[in-house]
Amino acid sequence: MTVHLRELENHPNQIAVSKIDSFVVDGAFFLDFSRPIEIYRWFGVPNRWFGFAVGLFVPVIHQGEQVGGFAISIHRSDPHFADVLALWKAHYPSRNTPPATVADGMTIVADFGRQFPNDCS
């Protein structure tokens, strides 16, 4: 699934991410620049140290979370693969904006499942 990136009106200076065509109202996920991105490489075998970058594990944070705990995968064939890498170079490490209202765990899990259905399994 293709990644969609957008700056939401109510959350300036944060980049919302979703793998569906829309963003869940009051349940958006943002790129979490407080945690490092993981680059998966290929050089005969998959590894994390050397070779061609073939995928990313990108940390995301729910708008109602203080500390993020989820990550999504982005394959090299995704049109925003290079954009995400460039954003991490520009913004990592950064502090998270504290949420206006804290969401409960079940809501966060449900919102993640809706916006990233392939990353839930």
What's the whole-number average pLDDT of the chain?
94
Q: What is the pLDDT along the chain (121 residues), one digit of tens a residue?
A: 899 999 998 888 899 999 999 889 899 999 999 999 999 999 999 988 999 999 999 999 999 999 999 999 999 999 999 999 999 999 999 998 889 899 999 999 999 999 999 998 7
Instruction: Report pTM.
Output: 0.93
User: Could you tell me the two tokens for 108?
Assistant: 């966060």
Question: Is the backbone peptide bond immediately before 36 cis, with ω within 30 degrees of 0?
Answer: no
Q: Is 92 helix (H, G, I), strand (E, B) or coil?
A: coil
What would the DSSP string read from start to end of 19-67? SSSS--TT--EEE-TTS--EEEEESSSEESSSSEEEEEEEEEEETT-SS
CA dist., res. 32 & res. 51, Å (int): 25
For the chain, which residues make up each domain, given as ranges?
A: 4-119
The DSSP code for 119 is: G
pLDDT at 11: 87
Q: What percent of the chain has pLDDT over 70?
A: 100
- Phi then psi for residue 61, to 5 deg, are -135, 135
